[in-house]
């Protein structure tokens, strides 16, 4: 293979890598990219500092949880679960408000 052909291959590889890096930079500067990054951080660190408020169906505050919490909702929407201080908390059929500190 000639020196010119090898140089052409390296230029192509560098351009391709530049495009991939540019796409990553662009994606992680979008709102959905920032949410994805925050989700990865939460999963890897055991949660984020949050306040979880649980309300009854008539709007009364039932319980407030505060601490490093990783929240998981279910696909059916009737159950929310999270871990707090090594204990699993599962809440069924209630209105949940989760705020990050």
Is residue 54 within 8 Å of 63, Cβ to Cβ?
A: yes
- Please answer whether residues 12 and 19 qualify as being in contact, where contact means their C-beta atoms are separated by less than 8 angstroms: no
Same domain, 29 and 72: no
Q: Tell me, yes or no, whether 97 and 58 share the same domain.
A: yes
Query: Both 58 and 40 in a single domain?
Result: no
76 lies in which domain range? Answer: 46-101
pLDDT of the residue at 1: 63
- Domain count along the chain: 2
- Domain match, 7 and 35 both: yes
Q: Do 28 and 56 sit in the same domain of this protein?
A: no
Do 3 and 35 have their domain in common? yes
Query: 58: domain CATH number?
Result: 2.30.30
- 68 and 97 co-located in one domain: yes
Which pTM was predicted? 0.64
User: 32 with 60: CB under 8 angstroms?
Assistant: no
- pLDDT of residue 5 exceeding 80, the answer is no
Angle at 49 between CA 47 and CA 55, to 5 degrees: 95
pLDDT tens by residue, 46-86: 778 899 999 988 899 999 999 888 887 777 767 888 888 88
Do 39 and 70 lie in a common domain? no
Shared domain for 79 and 91, answered yes or no, is: yes
Calculate mean pLDDT across residues 5-26.
86
Q: Is residue 19 very low, low, confident or very high in pLDDT (cuts 50, 70, 90)?
A: very high
């Amino acid at each position: 293979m000639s020196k010119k052909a090898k140089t052409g291959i390296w230029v192509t590889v560098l351009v391709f890598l530049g495009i991939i890096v540019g796409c990553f930079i662009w994606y992680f500067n979008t709102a959905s990219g920032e949410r994805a990054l925050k989700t990865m951080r939460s999963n890897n660190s055991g949660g984020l500092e949050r306040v979880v408020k649980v309300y009854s169906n008539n709007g009364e505050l039932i319980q407030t949880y505060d601490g490093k919490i990783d929240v998981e909702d279910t696909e059916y929407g009737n159950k929310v679960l999270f871990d707090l201080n090594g204990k699993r908390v599962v809440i069924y059929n209630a209105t949940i408000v989760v705020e990050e500190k």
